[in-house]
Structure 1
């Protein structure tokens, strides 16, 4: 599969896999952004993408930023649909207790390209029974 990238900012970094076997391509900021505690900011990557047919891109947090600084992403994983051609932006939030400075060219997220299965939707009068039934949040125990 081939992911097509168009840089829309001269400072954009082409996403890449940091290590052999990595699932996610690193995404980089093209701007400097200060995120105060409990504040959210939309951070530009300076790239647009064209996904392979029947795929989506999932934008996910970086574990190191989450552990060290309390920086994560809202709406995660964020879905980029196959037909989207706008700039990829990352919705970051600071859950830490100190302001966090996103620097230019900093790794801010990872992007995983996944296949998408299309389903046929059929309305029915009844659904099959299962052992779980309608048990929802917390129905499988407290731990």
Structure 2
């Protein structure tokens, strides 16, 4: 094992050379034992979720239907798995079946969201909430919000999925008036109210 600490990034890098056969648990334990007490405490505070993908629902293509683009990305890219291009007319909404099924852990929700590269062309994702317990095929609703037709190519990235952990709700309290909700600096102002006073000044 080779350990290296990057002070600028405050990251501990540990490399396993693979010279000896070992299970993943044995490797993790060996690495864990080399960490300082403060690093062990940080590791213990991290929470991870396990997401299951149904491989049988994937259509073979040049690359996986769902892929993690970069190491520190918060989302996963979702590709169009079809073999022929699809033309989406201006202001048309279409459903694209990804032939992909996932098991979202309890206490977590999966959100399908627009990709910035398509959103700037007017192609947006609509209604993309996947609750825990749903294990059917996932479809993406795409809306062409532009005045020009758009052609979706095979294997093109059309959406992104992000997994969010939900805060448990212990209970709900009914109040008679809005004043019972408490006070805040934001209050009832919305729809671009932030920074509005500065612009008017």
Give the TM-score, by structure 1 length: 0.83
**Structure 1: tracts of 5 or more residues without a match:** none
Q: Distance in 1 between matches of 2:134 and 2:164?
A: 15
| Equivalent in 79, 86, 90 of residue 28 of structure 1 | 79
Partners of 1:2 and 1:52 within 8 A in 2: yes
Distance 1:111 1:127, change over 3 A: same
Residues 133 and 42 of structure 1, relative CA distance in 2, 3 Å threshold: same
Unaligned runs of 5+ in 2: 1-48
- Cα distance, 1:131 vs structure 2: 4.2
Q: 1:37 to 1:132 in 2, by over 3 A?
A: same
Classify 1:2/1:138 alpha carbon distance in 2 versus 1 (closer, same or farther; 3 Å).
closer
Q: 2:184 aligns with which of 123, 126, 130?
A: 130
Question: Which of 106, 126, 137 does residue 53 from structure 1 map onto?
Answer: 106
Greater Cα radius of gyration, structure 1 or 2: 2
Q: Which has the higher contact order (CA 8 A, sep 6+)?
A: 1
Residue from 118, 136, 144 that aligns with 1:94: 144
Instruction: Please state how far the C-alpha of 1:52 moved relative to its aligned partner.
Output: 2.2
Q: CA RMSD in A?
A: 2.2
State the alpha-carbon separation in 2 of the partners of residues 103 and 49 from structure 1: 24
**Inter-CA distance 136–45: structure 2 relative to 1 (3 Å threshold):** same
TM-score (ref. length: structure 2): 0.61
Give, in angstroms, the shift of residue 9 of structure 1. Answer: 4.7
Q: Offset of 1:100 from its aligned partner?
A: 1.2
**53-62 or 90-99: bigger deviation:** 90-99
Q: Which has the higher helix share?
A: 2
